[in-house]
Amino acid sequence: MAYQSFEDLEVWKRSCRLAIEVTRAFSKSKDYIFKDQMIRAAISIPSNIAEGYERDSRLDTIRFLRIAKGSAGELRTQCYLALKLELLVQSQCQLFIQECKEISAMLQGLIRARSRPT
């Protein structure tokens, strides 16, 4: 498989946008612990995609894509909690959750593609 830069991946671009949106949503929040955890999970998604694609091993790439997928699940859970804690409004929460689900599906597709024998 020819080298593909992570910057070319739509899933990386979308996860960067999500990280920015989550960071902006919590910019004025005084719940620093929760805010920090959500922002870290959001930033972890594109960061792990990038790290995986910069590795020299197909198995390492897959491992980091799985970590990114796990971070998307973590962020979804935190969105549900943020809604119950009234840190996010319903519409914003739903948007973040839907984007996390779509990013997870895209990551799963990349994992499957990378897992096929070459």
Residues 55-106: pLDDT tens digits? 989 999 999 999 999 999 999 999 999 999 999 999 999 999 999 999 999 9
Contact (CB, 8 A) for 93 and 80: yes
Taking the C-alpha atoms of residue 32 and residue 38, their distance in angstroms, rounded to an integer, is 10
Structural domains in the chain plus CATH codes: 9-23+31-115 (1.20.1440.60)
Contacts of range 39-44, beta carbons closer than 8 Å, 24 or more positions apart: 41/71, 41/74, 41/75, 41/78, 42/15, 42/18, 42/71, 42/75, 43/19, 44/68, 44/71, 44/74
Residue 118: the pLDDT is: 65
Taking the C-alpha atoms of residue 79 and residue 82, their distance in angstroms, rounded to an integer, is 5
Would the pLDDT of 1 be above 70?
no
